[in-house]
Amino acid sequence: MDKLISVEEAASKVKSGMTLIIGGFLTNGGPNKIMDILAESDLKDLTIIANDAAYPDKGLGKLIAKKMVKKIITSYIGSNSAAIDQMNAGELIVEFSPQGTLIERIRAYGAGLGGVLTPTGLGTVVQDGKQLVEVEGKKYILERPLKGDISFIGASMADMSGNLYYKGTTRNFNPIVAMASEMVIAETEEVVPTGTFEPENVHTPAILVDKICNIKK
């Protein structure tokens, strides 16, 4: 199956009201070209699940700055002044989840788990409205899995089958983000023939990847 599509086709998969899980760490390893195209659309009421809110002029942060996002589940918004202003004005719902917990919640869905138990956040606002579970005399917060309609990730290299390689720190949360949506689209800097990678250099296997976009043709 041919998985190669344009960034425009990738962006066209998104509809208003969808939940998007977006890889990257402050846009490093993020699908930034696809985000640029989405930011020029008339999408609205999106829910974003991501490590951070990026920047108001870069990456997924553009979607927030243009008020296309109704809710973000994240660990950090401090780099995006638009997100801060919208949260304070009641225009953007922000669900804060500690970074490790956030990624484990995404991984939990991909692994078919019913949630994760963590002591992180006990006695804070993170605990509000959540079930507590006691195990061997210790209390834990039950954190529910997170899933998306589409996961967008950024890779350094893909082969034609969709196997992905991430260079350096661009790997960050991308392999886990690729586990948790109905569709997974990878933006990549290079596409090579299948069989080019050594098996140990496949960071995300092709079976998880539905579409790939080559941004440096």
pLDDT at 217: 60
Q: Where are the domains of the chain?
A: 7-115+147-214
**pLDDT-based confidence at residue 216 (cuts at 50, 70, 90):** confident
pTM: 0.96
Q: Give the CA distances from residue 110 to residues 50, 87, 102, 103, 179, in Å, rounded to whole numbers and listed in that order.
A: 15, 29, 13, 11, 5
Instruction: Report the distance separating Cα 23 and Cα 200, nearest Å.
Output: 21
In the numeric block, which tokens belong to residue 114?
């019913």
* Structure-token match 């092709």, residue found: 206
Phi, psi dihedral angles at 28 (to 5 degrees): -70, 120
The CATH number of the structural domain formed by 7-115+147-214 is 3.40.1080.10
pLDDT tens digits, 197-208? 999 999 999 999
From first CA to last CA, the distance across the chain in angstroms is: 20
pLDDT tens digits, 137-168? 999 999 999 999 999 999 999 999 999 999 99
Work out the burial of residue 190: count CB atoms within 10 Å of its CB; fewer than 13 is exposed, 13-18 middle, 19 or more buried: middle
* Structure-token match 């967008």, residue found: 152
